[in-house]
Amino acid sequence: MMPSSDSFSTEIERKFLLQRVPDNLEKYPRAEIEQGYLAIDSEGHHVRLRKKGDALSLTYKRDHGRRREEREIRLTADQFEALWPATVGRRLTKIRYDLPRGKRMIEIDVYRGVHEGLVVAEVEFPDEKSCAEFEAPDWFGAEVTSDQRYSNLKLACE
């Protein structure tokens, strides 16, 4: 039986490399994330499994860049475990830190495994206007929102 909190939304976000990691990063809330991909096509559609702490989900995403369609369904442990083996060869692990900044939450992802050393920041927005108006802090580096080399999908398949 499916848990009842399913969602559909349009995700608007920007992704950046970091010039430096913020001081005291360890003091912020964090969670280990394991994710793997079940299905991928050349149009930018994919189906992802994610374990973030105790939360298990299946997510469908369409398109790439700043604005994407996203549909997420929470899974039970049995459902997740039944599907997880199908993601072999398309997985990644990262630690996500949540840093509040004004009205926004900056999510800093510190990658593990083959991507050890890669650190990116993602910021989500409620609309295109606030996305365009966002001024990155001075510790952010280059914006890589549209650079597919830094997409989780691409990283998971390397």
Closest CA to 61 of 78, 73, 79: 73
Question: Euclidean distance between the first and final Cα of the chain, in Å?
Answer: 34
Return the amino acid letter for 151.
Answer: S
Question: What span, in angstroms and rounded, lies between the C-alpha atoms of 140 and 21?
Answer: 9
Q: Which residue among the candidates 28, 37, 111, 150 is catalytic per the annotation?
A: 37
- Asked about 37 being catalytic, the answer comes back as yes
Q: Are 139 and 76 in contact (CB under 8 A)?
A: no
Closest CA to 42 of 120, 148, 150, 158: 148
Q: List the structure tokens of 7.
A: 């969602």
Residues tagged active-site: 37
